[in-house]
Amino acid sequence: MLTLFRGELSRSGILTGKWVYGVLLDSDGKVYHYIGNLGQIDGRVGERTVGQFTGLFDKQERKVFHGDIIELNTGTSVQHFSISIPDDILKIEAENLGLPKDYGKMTIDRDWWKEFKDDITVIGNIWDNADMLTKWRTAE
């Protein structure tokens, strides 16, 4: 099974705002940050924008990728997290954006996700929505 990635297209080193989904393409063991599907190359993407699919879906069945910002709304509290897949790809981390940076990281597992899935919505990503990160981090 191929691993799904997404990235923002880049033209001459400038990000275009268009996101593409597919597999990362490489040559001779070097990753060039191109994304494509079934023999078609969608284009070169900005290296920092590449995010791997976590295998998780939000309450609206949207795929959750590394770099996404999710909202957890349990009805009694609302929290915001950025999702990351560290080098150890068997683990998914969520950083609570309402806590100081060194305190807010937690490892999430599929049982936790199942318990809260109906309360989770993807509301953006850390590249297109950097203003959200700044807003929550300055409110600490």
Judgement on whether residues 58 and 29 belong to the same structural domain of the protein: no
What count of other Cβ atoms lies within 10 Å of the Cβ of residue 54?
A: 19
Judgement on whether residues 127 and 58 belong to the same structural domain of the protein: yes
pLDDT of residue 140 exceeding 80 = no
State the chain's mean pLDDT as an integer.
Answer: 82
Query: Which pLDDT score is estimated for 30?
Result: 58
Query: Which pLDDT score is estimated for 138?
Result: 55
Reference 56, options 85, 88, 23; nearest CA is: 85
Helices (H), the chain: 110-116, 130-138
pLDDT of residue 102 exceeding 90 = no
Per DSSP, the three-state class of 39 is coil
Judgement on whether residues 112 and 128 belong to the same structural domain of the protein: yes
What predicted TM-score, i.e. pTM, was given to this entire model? 0.83
For residue 92, the cross-strand partners are: 108
Q: Are 6 and 65 in contact (CB under 8 A)?
A: yes
Judgement on whether residues 62 and 38 belong to the same structural domain of the protein: no
Mean pLDDT of 56-64: 96
